[in-house]
Amino acid sequence: MSKKPEDIKVILATDCGSTTTKAILIMLQDGEYRLVVRGEAPTTVEAPFEDVTMGVLNAVTEVSELAGRKLVNEDETIMRPTSGTNGTDIYISTSSAGGGLQMMVAGVVRSMTAKSAENAALGAGAIVMDVIASNDKRLAHEQIERIRQLRPDMILLSGGIDGGTVTHVVELAELISAADPKPRLGIGFHLPVIYAGNIDARVNVGEILAEKVDLRIVDNIRPVLEEENLKPAREMIHNLFMEHVMAQAPGYKKLMSWADAPIMPTPGAVGLIMKRVADEEGIQVLGVDIGGATTDVFSVFKNPSYDNHKDENEIDNPKTIFNRTVSANLGMSYSISNVFKETGIANVLRWVPFKMDEVVLRNQVKNKMIRPTTIPQAMETLIFEQALAREALRLAFIQHQNFATTLQGVQKKRTISETFEQADSDTLVNLMGLDILIGSGGVLSHAPKRNQAAMMLLDAFQPQGVTMLAVDSIFMMPQLGVLSTIHPKAATEVFHKDCLIYLGDSISPKGIGKPGQTVGRYKIEMPTGQVIEGELAFGEMKKFPLGIGEKAKLTFDCSRGFDCGEGSGKKIEREIFGGVVGVILDGRGRPLIIPEAEAERVEALTKWLLALEVYPETALKG
């Protein structure tokens, strides 16, 4: 792209999803970049259209009409550059149409090089169909059968630190060679395989695979045990995504010729914007996008072993660590039945404050699966669907916590107290340090009341301490992610002003108590001068109005056994921020325990839902 950032005043961006193509128009207004309008149209990758650009032009035409600005030329191309009040300075796009980017990864040890390969693929925006490892307990012929059965878009092969095992890596290459896998798109093409393993095995891997696949070699993803070097592999994945996957998909060659930046896989772009915002503001971020078929969880947390005496740009010393997981079969329409299957009816119904019939519910869930575009009409159906959403989010989050860990295989020195503290997990996800929790996807972004979105986020993720809750209003993070590669300022301005809807800070002390026991004393000094004081009892929730952009001063004096970030029984004093829901005090304790006895459970749920004004009182009787 030749245009300088300061010359870019009009930006047109699209995201080609599996079903809908979304277009946004961003313009420089009064010195700041703002979203002007958005439009959408059905995606046209599949028959009978088989040309993605038709959907793009339809979505852009809608934007054009809404903005009163001509954006499409007579010859059906994007009008660039701007001319008077028409056209755009740049056009960019992301894509997850046609199933997105589907990959297989392989490595020697499941929890080490194979995990690093999985991490690289997920971070690049791929769906990882399977992970093959030398120690995954499958026999060679089973692994070969699996590779042959799945038809990925590409394979990432890693294994061995530099100078380490050659034999195991070569064995993996032999498995791939024996399976002779075919790419999903483009019959007759060679499948791209990226080799990012032990440097000493390159020649052997080349001998085995070069004839059969389109082999690309990049730097080792795990050159030494203590380092993960994901960037070269991720960049190669993006290049191959453009060269192979996109080039095979109908209409993408034309789309690629229009775009001023490489077309990125949608989730990869979301990761970029989240990491940028987290890094720029020094905050820890957790994001979730719950769709019809899949749920993506993204996180940016501080690197626990960051050494501030060393350069943060060194590969072994990043300040923050980005992780992404895709729960391929957790979603609210196509995969709704799988959520039900995975978690079980009891776990879903524990969020519903009245009785429901199991046979009827089972059929309802399946009918939603086969008719995914229907919407809940009755309040009871909405409550049930949001209960399912809590479980989908919870399961996806557990998967993320288990994945987002410190590097495995590294020798660590721990004090005795650290040993006890970290005995259960090496996850990077630190809920107490989390600054903002962002939800997106229909069930969160389009919940009839924002209070419902806030409650779903609190129940599913159980943030601790002070955490801002937010939803992405129209899911424009993908477009902003690509934009951040060429115009970071515009991307972050729009992210804060137009993309996020702040729901408000939640204050959730960690700890367990007895019903009625005091969790702590709170004092909130409102911007109006009003001071709200009181005691928060265990099992109690409260909500106070504090609008978007407003801030108040919070003092929360935790009782013994409860922690808001400063330690058990310690007081915190800090600024808190409002949102469309307000400030939430969540005294239910962490971990959140739902009473098992039916009457107690219904009473507790009803109390919480009413305190946060989630549903009308009449609806809670079922």
Partner 1 sequence: MGHVYTPGLKVTEYTKVKKRRILPLKGDVVVKVGDKVNPHDVVARTELPGNVDSINATNLLGCDPDDLQYFIKVEMNTPISKGQVIAQNKGIFNTGFFKTQIKMPFDGHIESVSHVTGNVLLRANPIPVEMTAYLEGQVMEVIPNEGVVVEANATFIQGIFGIGGERFGEIAIATPDYNCDLTAELVKEEHRGKIIVCGRRITSEAFKKAIETGVKGIVGGGVDDRDLKEILGEDIGVAITGSEDIATSLIVTEGFGDIPMAERTFELIKKYRGRHASMNGATQIRAGVIRPELVIAQPQPPAGFTEPTEAKVGLEIGSVVRIIRVPYFGVLGEVIDLPPELMVLESGSKARVLRVRFKDGAEAVIPRANVETIET
Nearer to partner 1, 391 or 435 (CB): 391
Report d(CA 114, CA 98) in Å as an integer.
26
Would you list the DSSP string of 476-490?
Answer: -HHHHHHHHHH-HHH
Nearer to partner 1, 135 or 167 (CB): 167
Min CB(362)–partner 1 separation in Å = 4
Residue 196 contacts residue 158 (beta carbons within 8 Å) = yes
Residue 71 contacts residue 239 (beta carbons within 8 Å) = no
Report d(CA 556, CA 568) in Å as an integer.
12
Of residues 468-507, those binding partner 1 (CB under 8 A): none
Dihedral sign, Cα of residue 365, residue 371, residue 372, residue 373: negative
User: Quick one: angle between helices 379-403 and 336-343, nearest 10?
Assistant: 70
Judged by CB under 8 A, does residue 54 bind partner 1?
A: no
Nearer to partner 1, 138 or 553 (CB): 138
Among 71, 170, 237, 321, binds partner 1 (CB under 8 A): 170
- Report the amino acid identity of residue 547: G
Judged by CB under 8 A, does residue 375 bind partner 1?
A: yes
Q: Which residues pair with 161 in a beta bridge?
A: none
Judged by CB under 8 A, does residue 363 bind partner 1?
A: yes
Min CB(272)–partner 1 separation in Å = 24
Nearest 5°: the CA angle 189, 193, 199 is: 150
Nearer to partner 1, 414 or 446 (CB): 446
Among 249, 293, 436, 499, binds partner 1 (CB under 8 A): 293
Judged by CB under 8 A, does residue 174 bind partner 1?
A: yes
Where does this chain touch partner 1 (CB under 8 A) — which range of 256-264, 375-383, 404-412, 602-610? 375-383
Where does this chain touch partner 1 (CB under 8 A) — which range of 60-68, 165-173, 212-220, 472-480? 165-173
Among 21, 325, 337, 479, binds partner 1 (CB under 8 A): 337
Judged by CB under 8 A, does residue 179 bind partner 1?
A: yes
Nearest 5°: the CA angle 235, 239, 243 is: 170
Among 31, 48, 84, 188, binds partner 1 (CB under 8 A): 188
Where does this chain touch partner 1 (CB under 8 A) — which range of 164-172, 190-198, 414-422, 425-433? 164-172
Where does this chain touch partner 1 (CB under 8 A) — which range of 218-226, 255-263, 328-336, 496-504? 328-336
Q: How do 32-42 and 551-558 pair as beta strands?
A: unpaired
Spatial neighbors of 599 by CB under 8 A, at least 6 apart, are none
Nearer to partner 1, 73 or 167 (CB): 167
For 184, 190, 319, the CA distances from 151, given in Å and listed in that order, are 5, 12, 37
Coil, helix or strand at residue 110: coil
Q: What is the end-to-end Cα distance of the chain in Å, rounded?
A: 58
Where does this chain touch partner 1 (CB under 8 A) — which range of 231-239, 329-337, 531-539, 590-598? 329-337
Of residues 386-425, those binding partner 1 (CB under 8 A): none
Among 171, 214, 426, 613, binds partner 1 (CB under 8 A): 171
Spatial neighbors of 38 by CB under 8 A, at least 6 apart, are 22, 23, 24, 25, 63, 474, 476
Residue 363 contacts residue 614 (beta carbons within 8 Å) = no
Nearer to partner 1, 228 or 289 (CB): 289
Nearer to partner 1, 289 or 435 (CB): 289
Nearer to partner 1, 257 or 373 (CB): 373
Give the per-residue SS3 of 327-370.
Answer: ECCCCCCCCHHHHHHHHCHHHHHCCCCCCCCHHHHHHHHHHHHH
Judged by CB under 8 A, does residue 446 bind partner 1?
A: yes
Interface characters, 530-559, with partner 1 (x: CB under 8 A): ------------------------------
Among 378, 416, 423, 599, binds partner 1 (CB under 8 A): 378
Residue 297 contacts residue 325 (beta carbons within 8 Å) = yes
Spatial neighbors of 419 by CB under 8 A, at least 6 apart, are none
Min CB(366)–partner 1 separation in Å = 4
Judged by CB under 8 A, does residue 371 bind partner 1?
A: yes
Judged by CB under 8 A, does residue 366 bind partner 1?
A: yes
Q: How do 285-290 and 295-302 pair as beta strands?
A: antiparallel
By CB under 8 A, the count of residues binding partner 1 is 60
Contacts made by residues 30-37, CB under 8 angstroms, sequence distance 24+: 32/493, 32/497, 33/489, 33/490, 33/493, 33/494, 34/493, 34/494, 34/497, 34/498, 35/476, 35/494, 35/497, 35/498, 35/499, 36/67, 37/63, 37/66, 37/67
Judged by CB under 8 A, does residue 196 bind partner 1?
A: no
Among 257, 377, 417, 528, binds partner 1 (CB under 8 A): 377
Cβ count near 389 (within 10 Å): 30
Judged by CB under 8 A, does residue 448 bind partner 1?
A: yes
**Run of H or E residues at 461:** helix 450-461
Judged by CB under 8 A, does residue 594 bind partner 1?
A: no
Report d(CA 563, CA 555) in Å as an integer.
13
Of residues 8-27, those binding partner 1 (CB under 8 A): 18-19
Judged by CB under 8 A, does residue 290 bind partner 1?
A: no
Where does this chain touch partner 1 (CB under 8 A) — which range of 170-178, 231-239, 419-427, 585-593? 170-178
Nearer to partner 1, 33 or 340 (CB): 340
Residue 8 contacts residue 91 (beta carbons within 8 Å) = no
Of residues 247-266, those binding partner 1 (CB under 8 A): none
Among 10, 12, 78, 144, binds partner 1 (CB under 8 A): 144
Q: Which residues pair with 192 in a beta bridge?
A: 214
Q: How many CA atoms lie within 13 A of 93 on its CB side?
A: 30
Where does this chain touch partner 1 (CB under 8 A) — which range of 243-251, 336-344, 536-544, 566-574? 336-344
Min CB(93)–partner 1 separation in Å = 18
Residue 584 contacts residue 612 (beta carbons within 8 Å) = yes
Nearer to partner 1, 19 or 408 (CB): 19
Where does this chain touch partner 1 (CB under 8 A) — which range of 91-99, 232-240, 309-317, 514-522? 91-99
Judged by the rule CB under 8 A, the positions of this chain that interact with partner 1 are: 18-19, 43, 45-46, 97-99, 140-141, 144-145, 166-167, 170-171, 174-175, 177-180, 182, 187-188, 204, 293, 329, 334-335, 337-338, 340-342, 359-360, 362-379, 381-382, 446, 448-449
